[in-house]
Amino acid sequence: MRELGWPAAMPTIDRDSIVPIYQQIYEELREAILTGTLPESTRLPPERTLAEKLSVNRSTVVHAYRELVVDGLIEQRVGSGSRVARSAGQPARSADVPWWITLPPWRIGSFPQVLGELAATEHGDRISFVPGVPPLEPSPLAELAKSFERAAGDSDFVLSYGDSEGHLPLREAIAARMRSRGCTVDAREVLVLTGSTQGITLVAQSLAEPGDEIIVEGPTYPGALQIFGIAGLRAIPVAVDADGMRVDHVEAILRTRRPRFIYTMPSLHNPTGVTMNADRRERLLTLAERARVPIVEDDPYGELAQPAMPPLVARSPNYVIYLSTFSKTIAPSLRVGWITAPRTIYERLLLRKQSYDMATSLYVQAGIYDFLSRAYDEHVVRLREELIARRRIAREAIAAHWPKSMRLTGGGGGFYLWATAPREIRARALLDAAERNGATFLFGEAFYAASGGDHNFRLAITPVTREALVEGIRRIGESIAVLAAR
Ligand SMILES: Cc1ncc(COP(=O)(O)O)c(C=O)c1O
């Protein structure tokens, strides 16, 4: 059995990279196998040995090896460990190797790849402040179940595909709700989406070409950064302060550049919780109109803001593409959101949506429509109250367990707290320590298109019980103290 090429192929890992460590190990080994540094039949070190050498968890190496098995690059046999597969090496010269094995790792630029992490529900024993999901209480489940039962009453209908634009009664109900927030929108301008994530993708692919520039906030929603990165767009970040996006920075950029669109969350911004003030809203709209650059307003939390501000689209429907979702006010598992856009753009979005899924689940739309007409308003009122209570609990726990040197933004009532650690504490190091101590959160760099966020992190205050909220904050406080003492 050959051992050649090893340890020349020993992976090196960069703990500061936003690329997960298992993926770094996988990519390096893959490269070594494909270039022949690790020829066929070479035995790889046992998972435990490699984990010790690299000072990582054994499960990290297990994960990396599993990816190589899936690619057909290594074989694993009980008792004899892992070996480079016989057909794996030097594929460029081997006509037998399927072409997809030789595809390079799919990473465009260095965009954060956190959508999977945001969607995941499993975090082991740790108290997880990662996913932006509504709290378990108030639960919409009992009323939702009734709504689905009522929707199923018309089963022949709800079992079909339905219109790509969406279920008309639901579109009407959405338009009526938007009108009550000051918008002039008709049901026919509403396109129902399979989650607003789909809308961000549609916009990224319909309004811009790879290589085009767009303006985003810094920090911004990392899921959007992943989508923009995959679409090959180049994001120009604009800072956010207590009054929202720095519109003066947007103005400066627009003097010399023509981004394809401006992506913003003016109400209860994710992650900072800040709401853009009225002056800035007006200035941003004026700038966009003058420069003829559309605004993509992502507004999943607007209905939860108090006091509520009219969305940007209310003042400027011809320049604003508006996105929202039921993920934050009912449940993300429904995967239903919507978008409104000027007619010519709407047509493009619709055709592209059809190519993804033909239509959003009609059954789910019919259930949501019923829920909206009976139970939604009351549910949202209770949800707002719960968010306010949780924010108070979180702030009290932070005051009790974290040093005064930690700063917090996010007073507005949304799902998130955005924390800034003092210079000597890096958020990555804090995350490592907190995870060892049984709590986890999302580190700040994931929220920035370029650089930034080294000392920031986001806590979603919603995915845990109230008790776990306090306990998780206490655990993070312990980790802060350990790092501060170093
Ligand atoms: C700003 C923003 N946009 C979009 C989404 C995704 O929403 P959906 O579940 O509708 O795809 C989220 C979820 O966290 C979000 O915070």
pLDDT on residue 84: 92
pTM recorded for the entire structure: 0.84
Nearest CA, atom 6, ligand 1: 197
Q: For residue 351, what are the β-bridge partners?
A: none
The pLDDT tens digits of the residues spanning 204-218 come to: 999 999 999 999 999
**Residues of each domain in the chain carrying CATH 3.90.1150.10:** 115-138+378-485
**Best mutation site among 197, 200, 321 for ligand 1, i.e. most ligand atoms within 8 A of its Cβ?**
197
Lowest mean pLDDT among 92-106, 179-193, 385-399: 92-106
**What is the whole-number distance in angstroms between the Cα of residue 422 and the centre of ligand 1?**
29
CA angle 270, 456, 307 (to 5 degrees): 35
pLDDT on residue 16: 74
Question: What mean pLDDT comes out for the span 327-342?
Answer: 98
Residue 80 pLDDT exceeds 90: no
Name the token pair of 88: 């794996």
Residue 372 pLDDT exceeds 80: yes
Question: What mean pLDDT comes out for the span 372-387?
Answer: 97
DSSP label of 46: P
**Cα distances (Å, whole numbers) of residue 258 to 87, 208, 253, 292:** 49, 12, 8, 9
Residue 310 pLDDT exceeds 80: yes
- The Cα 362–Cα 364 span in angstroms is 5
Name the token pair of 207: 């309004």
In the chain, the percentage of residues whose pLDDT exceeds 90 is: 73
CATH fold for domain 115-138+378-485: Aspartate Aminotransferase, domain 1 (3.90.1150)
**What is the whole-number distance in angstroms between the Cα of residue 370 and the centre of ligand 1?**
23
Q: Which amino acid is at 388?
A: I
CATH class of 21-102: mainly alpha
- The Cα 57–Cα 51 span in angstroms is 6
**Residues of each domain in the chain carrying CATH 3.40.640.10:** 141-375
**What is the whole-number distance in angstroms between the Cα of residue 398 and the centre of ligand 1?**
26
The pLDDT tens digits of the residues spanning 127-157 come to: 999 999 999 999 999 999 999 999 998 778 8
The pLDDT tens digits of the residues spanning 428-471 come to: 999 999 999 999 999 999 999 888 999 999 999 999 999 999 99
**Residues of each domain in the chain carrying CATH 1.10.10.10:** 21-102
Question: Phi and psi (nearest 5°) for 258?
Answer: -120, 80
CB atoms within 10 A of CB 180: 8
Q: For residue 295, what are the β-bridge partners?
A: 262, 320
pLDDT on residue 1: 44
**Beta strand 407-409 pairing with 416-420:** antiparallel
Lowest mean pLDDT among 87-91, 257-261, 341-345: 87-91
CATH fold for domain 141-375: Aspartate Aminotransferase; domain 2 (3.40.640)
**Best mutation site among 240, 268, 328 for ligand 1, i.e. most ligand atoms within 8 A of its Cβ?**
328
